[in-house]
């Protein structure tokens, strides 16, 4: 049993805009690349060129279809990684203290030296955000690129998680939720940022912006149609004469 900090100075996390995410997987692979080369053991791939390739990813995009009662079915792309919960069950369940939540910024990390690969944390996480690396035998999860966001070897503008830096549509935002004036706090307020499965009491830090309502025919019926000026070419040319001032 590992303890969570009672509070953290900052609450770093992501806002993910489901209205803008096109499901391109750029974040998935950028994350894979950075975290294979950086923090901890590389993210390995088993049977990489075989029948059942299965590798470790810290971020995956799922695609769902939603069929509203009226109108066309909708497609939603849903990127998912660790939500860095305030009440992270993955931390409290850890028997060795390897899983911990940082007191300074709230990032949930795994100390790979202490991880015994028991998998309890992955079982406790209701979001399926942790993956046991089969080659290293340690638990892997989103680090919020803790080795990028403070990294003085990177230009300041690059001190954001790899997934945020790479997102082509600009659907991912990084910032401090403890600061009500931060970009992520504002976005979340303005666009109705949502918790994922709030009923579980995990208090996730990351927020999702819901897709904006799509147009439906019901609204459209009220929209004005165009008023005809002519129904056939002769009438049209008469209108043209008038429109051009009849000179």
Partner 1 sequence: MSKQPNIDTSPPVSDEIRKTTCYMCACRCGINVHMKGGKVAYIEGSRDHPINKGVLCAKGSAGIMQVNAPSRLRSPMKRVGPRGSGEFEEISWDEALSLATSRLGKIRKEAPEKLAFFTGRDQSQSFTSLWAQSFGTPNYAAHGGFCSVNMAAAGIYTMGGAFWEFGQPDWEHTKLLMLFGVAEDHDSNPIKMGLGKLKQRGAKVIGVNPVRSGYNAIADEWVGITPGADGLFITSLIHELLRAGKIDLDYLARYTNAPALLNSDPNDAEFGLFLRDDDGKMLVIDRKSGKPTAFDKKGVQPDLRGTLRRAGVTHEAAFHSVAETYLAPEFAPEAVAERCGIEPQTIRRIAAELARVAFDEAISLPIEWTDFRGETHSEMIGRPVSFHAMRGISAHANGFQTCRALHILQILLGSVEVPGGFRFKPPYPKPVEAHPTPHCQSNPMAPLDGPHLGFVRGPEHLALKPDGSAARIDKAFTWENPMSSHGLMHMVISNAHAGDPYKIDTLFLYMANMAWNSSMNTKSVIDMLTDRDDNGEYVIPNIIYSDAYSSEMVAYADLILPDTTYLERHDCISLLDRPICEADAAADAIRWPVIEPDRDVRGFQSVLCDLGARLGLPNFTNPDGSAKYKDYADYIVNHERKPGIGPLSAFRGDGTETGRGSVNSEQLDRYIENGGFAVTHIPDSARYYKPWNMEYQEWAVGMGLFDTPQPYLFSIYSEPMRKFQLAAEGHGERQPPDHLRKQVHDAMRPLPVWEEATDDEGGEYPLHALTQRPMAMYHSWGSQNAWLRQIHGRNPLYVPTKVWEAHGFQDGDWARVTSRSGEIVVPVAHQAALNSNTVWTWNAIGKRKGAWALDDNAPEATKGFLLNHLIDELLPPKGDGLRYSNSDPVTGQAAWFDLRVKIEKCAAPDEPQPAFSSLRSPVGKGPKDLAWKVGS
Interface pick for partner 1 out of 166, 182, 185, 206 (rule CB under 8 A): 166
Stretch that binds partner 1, among 80-88, 122-130, 177-185, 211-219 (CB under 8 A): 211-219
- The answer to whether 48 touches 144, Cβ cutoff 8 Å, is no
Which of these ranges, 48-56, 122-130, 176-184, 194-202, lies near partner 1 under the rule CB under 8 A? 48-56
> Binding to partner 1 by residue 111, rule CB under 8 A?
yes
Residue nearer to partner 1 on the CB measure, 108 or 125: 108
Rg, Å, the chain Cα set: 25
Least distance to partner 1, CB of residue 129, Å: 17
Contact 207, 16 (CB under 8 A): yes
3-state secondary structure 61-112: EEEEEECCCCCCCEEEEEEEECCCCCCCHHHHCCCCCCEEECCCCCCEEECC
- Chosen residue from 156, 190, 199, 232 binding partner 1 by CB under 8 A: 232
| 7 near partner 1, judged by CB under 8 A | no
Contacts with partner 1, 123-162, as mask; x by CB under 8 A? ------------xx---------xx-xxxxxx--x----x
Q: Among 7, 9, 103, 123, which residue interacts with partner 1 (rule: CB under 8 A)? A: 103
Minimum Å gap between C-beta 58 and partner 1 is 13
Characterize 185-213 residue by residue with b for buried, 16 or more Cβ atoms within 10 angstroms of its Cβ, and e for exposed: bbbbeebebebbeeeeebebbbbbbebee
């Amino acid at each position: 049993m590992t303890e969570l900090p009672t509070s953290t100075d900052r609450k770093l996390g992501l806002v993910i805009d489901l209205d803008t995410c096109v499901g391109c997987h750029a974040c998935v692979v950028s994350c894979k690349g950075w975290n294979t080369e950086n923090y901890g053991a590389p993210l390995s791939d088993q049977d990489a060129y075989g029948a059942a390739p299965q590798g470790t990813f810290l971020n995956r995009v799922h695609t769902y279809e939603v069929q509203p009662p009226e109108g066309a079915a909708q497609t939603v792309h849903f990127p998912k990684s660790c939500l860095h919960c305030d009440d992270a069950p993955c931390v409290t369940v850890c028997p060795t203290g390897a899983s911990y939540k940082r007191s300074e910024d709230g990032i949930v990390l795994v100390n790979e030296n202490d991880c015994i690969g028991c998998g309890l944390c992955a079982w406790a996480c209701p979001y399926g955000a942790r993956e046991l690396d089969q080659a290293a035998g340690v638990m892997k999860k989103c680090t919020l690129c803790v080795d990028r966001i403070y990294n003085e070897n990177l230009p300041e503008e690059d001190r954001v998680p790899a997934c945020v830096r790479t997102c082509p549509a600009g659907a991912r935002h990084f910032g401090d939720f403890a600061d009500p004036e931060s970009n992520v706090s504002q976005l979340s307020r303005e666009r109705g940022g949502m918790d994922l499965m709030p009923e579980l009491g995990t208090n996730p830090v990351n927020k999702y912006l819901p897709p904006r309502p799509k147009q439906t025919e019901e609204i459209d019926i009220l929209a004005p149609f165009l008023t005809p000026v002519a129904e056939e070419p002769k009438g049209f040319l008469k209108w043209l004469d008038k429109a051009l001032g009849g000179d």
